[in-house]
Structure 1
Amino acid sequence: MKEPRFTKWFAALPALNRPQRLRVLDALRPAAGLDQVLALIAQCRAAGRRCPHCQCERWHRHGHANDLQRYRCFSCRRTFNDLTGTPLARLRLRGKWLDYLDALLVSRPVRAAADTVKVHRNTAFRWRHRFLDRVKEDRPGCLNGIAEADEMFILESQKGSRKLDRPARKRGGVASRRGISRDLDCILVARDRNKQTIDAVTGRGPVSKVQLERHLLPFLDRDVLLVTDANAAYRAFARAHGLAHQAVNVSAGERVRPSRNGAIHVQNVNAYHQRLREWLAPFHGVASRWLPNYLGWRRMLDGGKVTSADQLFRLAIGLIHSER
């Protein structure tokens, strides 16, 4: 629009009634969101921009495409933009991304988020897992001091799968066997007294020493005091790696045991389990294949580290490793 025409249009804005003003704001919101997203992308990538194909740091500008600056690598001669190689590559409707991230921050279900942002529910679901793809990898460097570890179990789900490896069950079904069995997904959660949290889906059925070595050992400080329940897998794990270990016999009614290093209990991690269960309930069942994404989502919200759409966007395209 040329300047004289724009000036005339702008001067007429005060004459609009309230419904008309709201229509203008709704029409302009995606454009404003797009400008903000493009600025965030450039800001996040400017410092360490390199070719995602060969990691070369020498590049030159190579035109624009789909509102994004493109670059050509001096080494491999391939082109890229600042989203190439990230989970957000080739996603459209960028002007609505920040509004959708606001919906993620308040844990809206798929359909409610789709209605809020005015996109299709399939788009909202696809966006959810694209934005959470790297969030699940953002964990603290290590747990120190007193670290509590315990498992929680939820029913294995193949929701959304076209082929099942077991007989189908009705929504809200129950396991075919009592107790801890292969019908349940095991979620390991470890949390220190500084509220730093790590979690992992270890597989189906009870946790084993090998699984603890894979999912827990890399995140434990050598001087940590590991507090768990009386599960024998933790005792064998701690003995094999020379870790200080205290067990609380919860099944016998033991809750807290005094110690010179601090109270020995697993109440912090069990409280986290309770909050996680309550948070998952409105989603009406989470497919096991997506469970790690939901764990990262909940960990992000529980830590209170990410409180705005801008922060969540930075996390979605590049990890932010920081203390919680």
Structure 2
Amino acid sequence: MRAPHFKKWFARLPALNLPQRLHTLAALQPAAGLAQVTALIGQLGAAQRRCPACACERYHRHGQANGLPRYRCRACRRTYNDLSGTPLARLRQREKWLKYLGTVVASTSVRTAASQVGVHRNTAFRWRHRFLERAKHDRPQLLNGIAEADEMYLLESQKGAKKLNRPARTRGGRAGKRGISCELDCILVARDRGGQTIDAVVGRGALTAAHLARHLLPRLDRQVLLVSDGHAAYRAFARQHGIAHQAVDLRAGVRLRRSTAGAIHVQNVNAYHSRFRQWLSRFRGVASRYLSNYLGWRWALDGNRIASAEQLLRIAIGLIHSQR
């Protein structure tokens, strides 16, 4: 629209009634969202832009496509944009991303989010896991001071699978075996007294010292004091790797001990377990293959670390580029 036509159109806006104003705002909102997302992508890409194929940082502009500038690598001559080689590549309807991420911050169900944003429920589900694919790696490098560790178990789920490797069960079913078995997903959570948290889906069945060496050891400061319950795997792990370890005997009713290092308990990590279970229940069943995404989602929301859609998008894009 040319400037004179725009001035005439803009001057007539006060004459609109309330329904017309709301209709106009609804029509302008996607364009505003698209401009905001495009600006954020360009801002983050400019600081760490490199070829997704060869990681070369030398490039030159090579036109524009689908609302994003393209670049040609000076080494391999391939073209790319700031989303190439990422889970967000070829993801359409960018004007709705921020509105959708608002539903992610609010922990909205797939169908409700699809209705609010105006996309199909399958699109809402696909977007959820595209945005969480890399954002779940936004974790602390090391746990320091006193670090509490404990495991929790969830019934394995093949929700959404076209073929099952076991007989189907009703929603919210029970394991066929008593106690801890291969029918349960084991989730390890470790949390220091500063609130820094790491977690991992280590596999099915009981926790072992090998699981701890694989998932916990790289995230522990060498001077850390590891606190756990009486599980033998923690004692064996600490002994094998020379890590200071204290245990509380929950079976004997001992939940808190005092020592020169500080209070010895696992109440912080158990409280995190409780919050995660309560939050996860709103989704009425989560497939085991997506559990790590939901763990990352919960960590992003814990303690209001992520409070806005823009912040969540910034973290997702920033981490995406750091992984190239």
Please state which band the TM-score falls in when normalised by the shorter chain.
over 0.9
Residue 207 of structure 2 is matched in structure 1 by 207
> What residue is the counterpart of 1:249 in the other structure?
249
- % identical equivalent positions: 69
Match of residue 68 from structure 1: 68
Cα distance in 2, alignment partners of residues 37 and 208 from structure 1: 44
Instruction: Please list, as runs of the form range in 1=range in 2, the aligned pairs for 1:228-267 lying within 5 A after superposition.
Output: 228-267=228-267
Amino acid paired to 1:271: A
Q: Secondary structure at the match of 2:258?
A: coil
TM-score, normalised relative to structure 1: 0.97
Query: How far does residue 113 in structure 1 lie from its aligned partner after superposition?
Result: 0.9
Q: 3-state SS of the aligned residue for 2:199?
A: strand
SS in 2 for 1:133: helix
Residues 210-269 of structure 1: CA distance to partner in whole angstroms, max 9, x if unpaired? Answer: 110010000001111100011101100000000011111111111101111111110000
- Map of 1:1-324 to 2, 5 A cutoff? 1-319=1-319
Which amino acid in 1 is paired with 2:61? R
Q: C-alpha separation between the residues in 1 aligned to 2:246 and 2:274? A: 22
Cα deviation for residue 303 of structure 1 reads 4.1
Q: Deviations over 1:162-192 (max 9, x none)?
A: 1111111111111111111111101100000
In 2, distance between residues paired with 1:149 and 1:49?
Answer: 38
Quick check: 1:60–1:73 contact (8 Å CA) kept in 2?
yes
Q: CA deviation at 1:43?
A: 0.5
Give the letter aligned to residue 291 of structure 1.
Answer: L
**Cα deviations across residues 94-124 of structure 1 (Å, max 9, x unaligned)?**
0010111111111111111111111111111
Give, in whole Å, the separation in 2 of the partners of 1:238 and 1:180.
23
* Other structure's SS at 1:187 match: strand
Rounded Cα–Cα distance in structure 2 between residues aligned with 1:250 and 1:262: 18
SS at match of 1:132: helix
**Hey, what's the Cα distance between the residues in 2 that align with 1:162 and 1:317?**
32
Stretches of structure 2 lacking an aligned partner (at least 5 in a row): none
Q: Which amino acid aligns with 1:91?
A: L
The one-letter code of the counterpart of 2:130 is R
- 1:261 is aligned with what amino acid? A
Query: Which whole-Å deviations, capped at 9, do the CAs of 1:273-309 have from their partners, x for residues lacking one?
Result: 0000000011000000000000000001104322221
Question: Partners in 2 of 1:315 and 1:45 — Cα distance?
Answer: 13
- The answer to whether the Cα contact below 8 Å between 1:70 and 1:81 also exists between their aligned partners in 2 is yes
In 1, Cα distance between equivalents of 2:6 and 2:314: 35
What one-letter code is carried by the residue in structure 2 that aligns with 1:116? Q
Distance in 2 between residues matched to 1:258 and 1:140, nearest whole Å: 27
Q: Which moved more, 1:272-281 or 1:49-58?
A: 49-58
How many equivalent residue pairs?
Answer: 320
Cα deviation, 1:12-57, whole Å, max 9, x if unaligned, reads 1111111111111011100000000000000011012111111111
Residue deviations 1:140-178 (CA, integer Å, cap 9, x gap): 010011100000111100000011111111111111111
Quote the offset at 1:310 in angstroms: 1.6
Amino acid at match of 2:153: F
Shift in Å at residue 4 of structure 1?
Answer: 2.4
* Equivalent AA in structure 2 for residue 60 of structure 1: H
Q: Distance in 1 between matches of 2:122 and 2:5?
A: 40
TM-score normalized by structure 2?
0.97
The AA in structure 1 aligned to 2:74 is F
The aligned amino acid for 2:122 is: N
TM-align CA RMSD: 1.0
Name the amino acid aligned to 1:313: L
* 1: CA distance, partners of 2:246 / 2:4: 77
With 144-153 and 306-315 compared, the bigger mean Cα shift is at 306-315
1:196·1:303 contact (CA, 8 Å) conserved in 2? no
